[in-house]
Amino acid sequence: MKLLLIFFLGIIPSTLIWNENFNEAQQQAKTSHKQILINFSGSDWCGPCIRLRKEILESEVFEAYAKENLVLVRADFPRQKKNQLPAAQIKKNESLAEQYNPEGKFPYTILLDENGKILKSWDGYPNVAAEKFVSEIKTR
């Protein structure tokens, strides 16, 4: 019944899985020979981060491509007390930021190979359509 309701309302939940553990994501990428996309986000305070998520990362074109070709990691840094992450997750996100985002840019998105080598980065909101964003990933 819930599935029918979701279908009729046109609400299709995202099928993408955003990992919160980079080490596990990297192992998955090595096994599947996929690239890794890390998104550093301030999900409850950063306007460009929210826009990036809604307009690009949750778009049908990005989700279709990512599902088959990417391992996704989100390092979120919410500020509102109600959205605070568990201490262990905060530590993982901070460690990942030390390695890949030491300047603390938001949003900051990077494409890595399965070994963790940076292939491409987007500093701030990419300001392109989802199709163009996917095209930029494909050319790396």
Strand order through the sheet with 35-41: 18-19, 70-76, 35-41, 108-112, 118-123
Query: Residue 140 has what pLDDT?
Result: 80
Inside any domain, residue 1: no
pLDDT tens-digit series, residues 116-127: 999 999 999 999
Query: Residue 13 has what pLDDT?
Result: 55
Query: Residue 83 has what pLDDT?
Result: 96
Query: Residue 86 has what pLDDT?
Result: 97
Which CATH number covers residue 73? 3.40.30.10
pLDDT tens-digit series, residues 88-115: 999 999 999 999 999 999 999 999 999 9
Inside any domain, residue 3: no
How many domains, in total, are found in the chain?
Answer: 1
Q: CA distances (Å), 109 to each of 4, 80, 104, 135, in order? A: 35, 22, 12, 15
Scan for tokens 């826009």, then name that residue: 51
Inside any domain, residue 9: no
Residues spanned by the domain of 100: 17-138
CA 63 – CA 84 distance, rounded (Å): 26
Give every residue of the chain whose pLDDT is below 70, as ranges. 1-14
Inside any domain, residue 111: yes
Of 60, 59, 56, 97, residue with least CA distance to 76: 97
CA 127 – CA 96 distance, rounded (Å): 25
- The answer, yes or no, to whether the previous bond of 48 is cis (omega within 30 of 0) is no
Query: Residue 11 has what pLDDT?
Result: 52
Inside any domain, residue 60: yes
